Homo-oligomer: A and B are copies of this chain.
Amino acid sequence: MEMIDPDLQEGTGTSAGNTGVTAAIEAIGACPAVTDMMSRVGDKWSMQVVTKLGEQPRRFNELRRAVDGISQRMLTRTLRNLERDGLVSRKVTPSVPPRVDYALTPLGHSLWEPVTMLSRWVIDNRIEIESARAEYDAREQV
C-alpha cells in the first residue's frame, strides 16, 4: 500500500467496500480496508512507533531515539501515514527551535489491543515457528 510520498504519485483512495458486518475473518480480502490496514500493521516501522507513542507522547527526535534504527526519512513518512489514518496526532509549536509533539489518538490507542494480541501470539509461538522453519529448511536443503 503505502501512500503520500513526494517521491511517488498520489495514493489511490481506498474505495468503500461492501457493508459486510459478517465474520471478520471472511472480510479479509473481501473488504479492501482490512487488507489495507494489515499492510500498515505489517510495515517495518508503524507498530514500533505506535508502541512508543503508546507509552507516552513524544517529540520527533525523542521518538527517533526511541525507535531503534529508524531513519529520519522513514520516521517522517511513518508518522505522516499514521496521522493520515487518524492514529496519531501532531501538534506543532512554532517556536525557535520548532517543537512538534506526537501522540496516539483514541483510535490509535484502540489499535493497541488487537496488535498486542497478535504480538502475544508470536511470542507464545515463536519457538514452534522457528523449529518449523528449521525443519523445513533441513528438508528442502536436499
Contacts and interface: CB of A to CB of B under 8 A. Distances in A.
A122 B43 contact: no
Interface in A66-101: 67-68, 83-86
B27 A119 contact: yes
Chain A: interface size category: 35 or more
Contact of A117 (B12, B84, B117, B129): B117
Interface in A34-53: 34-44, 47-48, 51
Work out how many copies of this chain go into the complex.
2
B24 A119 contact: yes
A129 B133 CA distance: 36
Contact of A114 (B16, B68, B118, B128): B118
Given A86-B133, A128-B107, A24 B114 contact: no
30 contacts: A4-B140, A12-B68, A16-B130, A21-B116, A24-B116, A24-B117, A24-B119, A24-B120, A25-B119, A27-B123, A28-B119, A36-B122, A37-B129, A38-B47, A38-B119, A41-B41, A41-B118, A42-B42, A84-B133, A86-B128, A86-B131, A86-B133, A107-B125, A107-B128, A107-B132, A110-B125, A113-B121, A114-B120, A114-B121, A117-B118
Interface of A: 4-5, 8, 12-16, 20-29, 31, 33-44, 47-48, 51, 54-55, 67-68, 83-86, 107, 110-123, 125-126, 128-133, 135-137, 140
